[in-house]
Amino acid sequence: MNQFTFNIKGILTEFNRPQIMGILNLTPDSFFDGGKYSNESQIIKRCEDIIAQGADFIDIGAVSTRPGAAEIDEKQELARLLPALKIINKYFPQALISVDTFRAKVAEIAILEYGAAIINDITAGNGDDLMFKTIAQLNVPYVMMHISGNPQNMQNQPYYQGVVKEIQLYFAKKIQKAHSVGINDIIIDPGFGFGKTIDHNYEILQNLNKFRITSCPILVGLSRKSMIYKLLDSTPADALNGTSATNMIALLKGADILRVHDVKETLELVKIYTKMMQFENVKI
């Protein structure tokens, strides 16, 4: 199993098992649970479930990034995000929060005013020229994801000459730039479903271990995505079994963090994986 150490809210924290991020979508139009968490009681219940079921982090997003999603401005994003952060701070002050945003100002407010621990940026700095500088000043772990295009156009015939090598090169350049401005704790996310065909996604999954060359922890977001339910001729609502299968493959291929809707089921597979890996180097 992979081990890594991050500065989490000023404390050097060592992680020696796969981590789980439970998803809290504040958007009305996300592909699976859009609109389900729009008031205080719904947000409290979702956070209670995420924590009770064993997640290590709550990943909060206020901007939909599904294919073709409508753009919203910074004011709208903050109007969705800040009330939820206030609720979590009030009822779950010990929760570790990851904020899914590509805007530097939103990241700054979330960290400095609401105690968030991680910034999760689907654009890896491309969405806001100030993001890298801001993350360096905040000194927090930073998830940089690969995306081809943007949510509005990313699925318009995505093409790569070699998807794995192109993403490797993308991360090499991004990590070099991040280090040059003083970002220390970097997590990479290959961006399943973000500007990729079904074949691209499964080629990335098969070769996920090749991204370990970056020496950065790997986050995967496979939960209930179209690469699963379209392959199985199903729906997001019926994609839990496929999600568990692909998440286990991801762990076996070197994933360190699983971003999921279904925390209980994910913790079960992490426990199975962790137990199995105790015997990884046993000679027979």
97: left (phi over 0), alpha (psi -120 to 50) or beta: beta
Give me the amino acid identity at 223: S
| 95, 202, 250 from 207: Cα distances, Å | 33, 8, 9
Q: Which residue has the tokens 């989490």?
A: 8
Q: Which residue has the tokens 């910034």?
A: 119
DSSP 8-state secondary structure symbol assigned to residue 196:
-
Q: CA–CA separation, 121 vs 143, rounded Å?
A: 6
Identify which of 179, 24, 46 has the alpha carbon closest to the alpha carbon of residue 98: 24
66 catalytically annotated: no
Give me the amino acid identity at 99: V
Catalytic, out of 105, 225, 253, 283? 225
Q: CA–CA separation, 125 vs 133, rounded Å?
A: 10
Asked whether 37 and 81 are in contact (CB, 8 A), the reply is no
247: left (phi over 0), alpha (psi -120 to 50) or beta: alpha
259 catalytically annotated: yes
Identify which of 249, 274, 276 has the alpha carbon closest to the alpha carbon of residue 54: 274
Dihedral sign, Cα of residue 75, residue 141, residue 181, residue 211: negative
DSSP 8-state secondary structure symbol assigned to residue 58:
E
Write down how long the chain is.
284
User: What is the token pair recorded at 90?
Assistant: 């009030």
Catalytic, out of 259, 264, 271, 283? 259
Would you please indicate which residues are annotated as catalytic (active-site) residues? 225, 259
